Structure 1
Amino acid sequence: MLNPITICDKDIFQQVKLSCLIPTMIEGIVGRQVIAQIAAEKGIVADTHELQQAADDLRRVNNLHSAGETWIWLQKYHLSLDEFEELAAATVLSAKLAQHLFAEQLEPYFLEHQLDYTRVVMYEIVLDDEDLAMELFYALQEGEIHFHQATHQYIQDPDLRRQGGYRGLVRRNELKPEISAAVFSAQPPQILKPIVTAQGAHLILVEELIPAELTQELRYEILSALFATWLKQQVEQVEVTPQLEPEPILLQSR
């Protein structure tokens, strides 16, 4: 059995450095402090109900369904109850500050970028041979073969083949520009003439175009993106000098 190993803050900091995580850590630390400072300046605080809700959300996200599971989780991450509450408070402040800064910009932003949030239900076969792709396209057009049959015959990836080439709900910015232009100009259901990219010849079935709708989920996504961009800009303006004071932690090796 190995002897007990003592780890202090200096050791942890050194591991962070060797893992090339310093920039990420600094960005997170400064971001948290920026949020706290600006929230205070704007009089934004977390009330008791909001803190309780945030704590409940944290437990749910981490599958902590009992006090015992929560305690084990806290020990695993070396967090005290006060630090857990601090984490919940930081979550609340971030959400409230984001609302304060960008809530009124949500609908104008959505209207301006509405096309970016339009989605397509599509199926795809990618072939190395452009001539074969054209031949298969005409065969599909003439009804000599069904798209589903073609996917089972020409898709090599087992999982994608089992799904019949289904790409899921895809947004415009998730596709290559040349593919996006053709897909979002289609009249569903429509099989597109093969599109050649560096990846190969794409044979695409456009099943449905789904117009963008400003749902609660999309509101949260846009708000989070706007806030993240803003926070990154704030962090980049801050001059940082990291300091750590060693504090021993005793870990028993197995």
Structure 2
Amino acid sequence: MQETIAWLDQQRISMEDWVQGIRIKLLDKQLKEFLFGPSVDGEYMRNRDRYKRVAISQILVVDLATAWKIVQLLREGQASFCALALEYSKGKTSQEKGGFVGTRFLVELIPDVAEAIKNVEEGEILGPIQTKLGYHVVKVEKWFPLQLTLAVREQIMESLFQSWLQNKLNNIVYHD
């Protein structure tokens, strides 16, 4: 308990604020479960491909010529993905981690990137894929099996909740 209090002091968080934060998080979780818990299975069955998990690496650049140069170097085996990401990527995460951006659900990716990679084999290089951020050169590192895990369930509830919230906000804005 002493360590917790010391940590809270160091973070400049009062015990009351910490307890209130925990209450809010629990209420948030209970509300999502109440509103959307019963519909998670149906949502998963209708849209399971959106909840596929993939480990990806990417290099994000601002111009098409550089993107094609990177793709060519990679396909010819003249450079490693990691080295090129460190040198060229404008994406903060991908540059700092040598291209690796992590394991994501397809639904969490930029739609154009998700669409481009959804049927690609592990190890394949794609791109350039143009988005509002620039040009993406993507490598699919690993696909994970489809399973309705706790993480997938929480992701589905979060997506449903965010859509519900957006709908409520739109109703307030357009009806007031």
- Give TM class, smaller chain: 0.5 to 0.7
TM-score by length of 2: 0.67
- Residue in 2 aligned with 1:122? 56
What do the CA deviations read for 1:177-225 (whole angstroms, capped 9, x no partner)? 3222111121111111311233222111111122332112333443465
Aligned mate of 1:139, from 70, 73, 93: 73
> Radius of gyration: which is bigger?
1
- Residue in 1 aligned with 2:15? 73
The answer as to whether partners of 1:120 and 1:184 remain within 8 angstroms in 2 is no
SS at match of 1:192: strand
Q: 1:113 to 1:64 in 2, by over 3 A?
A: farther
Task: Give runs of ≥4 in structure 1 deviating > 6 Å.
Answer: none
Q: 1:98 to 1:199 in 2, by over 3 A?
A: closer
Long gaps (5+) in structure 1: 1-62, 66-71, 238-254
TM-score by length of 1: 0.49
Cα separation, 2, equivalents of 1:156 and 1:224: 29
Q: State which drifts further: 155-164 or 133-142.
A: 155-164
RMSD value, Cα: 3.8
Q: Which amino acid is 1:191 matched to?
A: I
2:156 is the counterpart of 1:222: yes
Cα separation, 2, equivalents of 1:146 and 1:129: 20
Instruction: Indicate the percent of aligned positions where both proteins have the same amino acid.
Output: 24
Cα separation, 2, equivalents of 1:225 and 1:133: 32
How far off is 1:164 after superposition? 0.6
What do the CA deviations read for 1:234-253 (whole angstroms, capped 9, x no partner)? xx79xxxxxxxxxxxxxxxx
Q: Which amino acid is 1:152 matched to?
A: L
Q: 1:137 to 1:224 in 2, by over 3 A?
A: closer
How far off is 1:111 after superposition? 0.8
Name the structure with the higher strand share.
2
Long gaps (5+) in structure 2: 7-13
The answer as to whether partners of 2:61 and 2:90 remain within 8 angstroms in 1 is no
The answer as to whether partners of 1:184 and 1:209 remain within 8 angstroms in 2 is no
2:121 is the counterpart of 1:179: no
SS at match of 1:185: coil
Q: 1:101 to 1:171 in 2, by over 3 A?
A: closer
- Residue in 2 aligned with 1:209? 143
What do the CA deviations read for 1:149-202 (whole angstroms, capped 9, x no partner)? 211221356764231122112222333332221111211111113112332221
- Residue in 1 aligned with 2:99? 165
- Within 5 Å, give how 1:84-103 maps onto structure 2: 95=30, 102-103=36-37
Higher relative contact order (CA 8 A, sep 6+): 1
- Within 5 Å, give how 1:40-59 maps onto structure 2: none
